[in-house]
Copies of this chain bind each other. A is one copy, B any other.
Amino acid sequence: MKNQFIMDIRAGDRVDDIFVLSEKILSQKRDGDNFLNVTLSDRTGTIKGVVWDNVEQIATGITSGNFAYVSGSVGDYKGDLQVVIKIMDPIPSDRIDPCDFLPKTPRDIEGMFERLLKRVNSIDTDYLKALIDAFFKDNEFVTKFKTAPAAKKMHHAYVGGLLEHTLSMLSLADKIAGHYGGINRDLLLTGTLLHDIGKIDEFEYQFKIDYSDEGRLLNHIVIGIKMLDDKLSEIRHFPEDQILMLKHMIVSHHGTREFGSPEPPKTIEAVLLNYIDEIDSKVNAIRDFIASEDPDETWTSYHRLLGRHFYKGNKSAYVPRIR
């Protein structure tokens, strides 16, 4: 566990902790001597560094992408902070706590998981119960489900993001199932719970969040269908019609072909799932974007993917809260 994080470092501080060496460039001074320009990072940001002494020794002992114990002092260079590094030793990745290097949900993972279990326990259709059990008694699945991010960028792009997103959607789904008549609540909740499970293998999120080979080649929709099929094969007499409707909810949850669903939603439950997903991901994306911006400005900067500035007006700050 790290004690020192990049966002807290100030000019004049001493540096004395583990970082990722994310970039390393060998350069030459005018007198011909070598020196190293480096970039260090952890889950809170990046900082520049420079090595003037023992350059060759340090340069050969460690490559970019590695973890390193770094010792040095912090100054200002052309308006940016810069660490003048004296020591930089490689550290094996098994001695690292990934949470020091990955962004993580601000909420309590175990607490969220308990609330999720409570919500799904209210489902009382037998075979759906059996299906949910098949997933939640699979420890490997549960471990991944608790830590997976919901995206690489855009929304819930942090450890625990998938769980947070799914929990919030379950609560919304329950409210909406109660609002309209004629909705199969148990089906809607089960589909909501499972719609994004493919993401646990779509991403790699050990030390940074990126797509896995499987994620890039198959997409979490196709991965999720396979995971569902594997669990369904363990349950006897699961009604064929319900299998189709559950799978259809996963297949269609992006709403249109343009957004990656091979078929659009063709049942009321699938239509609702698509909207609930839209609301929860957009609200999370916008609130995180607003939170990352200068709190004194009335407007955010331009959000490239959403194609607009957002207005904050004079309202009290947006404090994320899930009930």
Tell me if A137 counts as interface (CB < 8 A to partner B). Answer: no
Q: List 19 A-B contacts (CB under 8 A).
A: A172-B179, A181-B322, A182-B287, A182-B317, A217-B247, A217-B248, A217-B263, A217-B311, A218-B244, A218-B251, A222-B222, A248-B311, A257-B257, A258-B258, A266-B310, A268-B283, A271-B286, A275-B279, A275-B282
- Binary contact readout A211-247 vs B (1 if CB under 8 angstroms, 0 otherwise): 0011011110110011001000000000001001101
Stretch at the interface among A53-61, A74-82, A88-96, A108-116: A74-82
CB-CB under 8 A for A76 and B28, given A260-B262, A283-B268:
yes
* Residues of B contacting A26 in the complex (Cβ-Cβ under 8 angstroms): 79
Tell me if A308 counts as interface (CB < 8 A to partner B). Answer: yes
Tell me if A304 counts as interface (CB < 8 A to partner B). Answer: no
Tell me if A309 counts as interface (CB < 8 A to partner B). Answer: yes
Identity of the chain B residue whose Cβ is nearest the Cβ of A12 in the assembled complex? B32
* Residues of B contacting A317 in the complex (Cβ-Cβ under 8 angstroms): 182
What is the interface residue range for chain A against chain B?
A: 35 or more
* Residues of B contacting A320 in the complex (Cβ-Cβ under 8 angstroms): 180-182
CA–CA, A247 and B311, complex, Å: 13
A2 CB to nearest B CB, Å: 26
Tell me if A319 counts as interface (CB < 8 A to partner B). Answer: yes
Q: Is there an interface contact between B321 and A181, defined as CB atoms closer than 8 Å? A: yes
Tell me if A151 counts as interface (CB < 8 A to partner B). Answer: no
* Residues of B contacting A272 in the complex (Cβ-Cβ under 8 angstroms): 279, 283
Tell me if A66 counts as interface (CB < 8 A to partner B). Answer: no
Identity of the chain B residue whose Cβ is nearest the Cβ of A215 in the assembled complex? B263
* Residues of B contacting A248 in the complex (Cβ-Cβ under 8 angstroms): 217-218, 311
- Binary contact readout A165-196 vs B (1 if CB under 8 angstroms, 0 otherwise): 00010011001101111101000000000000
CB-CB under 8 A for A313 and B241, given A178-B323, A217-B263, A225-B222:
yes
Tell me if A63 counts as interface (CB < 8 A to partner B). Answer: no
CA–CA, A178 and B176, complex, Å: 13
Tell me if A44 counts as interface (CB < 8 A to partner B). Answer: no
Identity of the chain B residue whose Cβ is nearest the Cβ of A78 in the assembled complex? B27
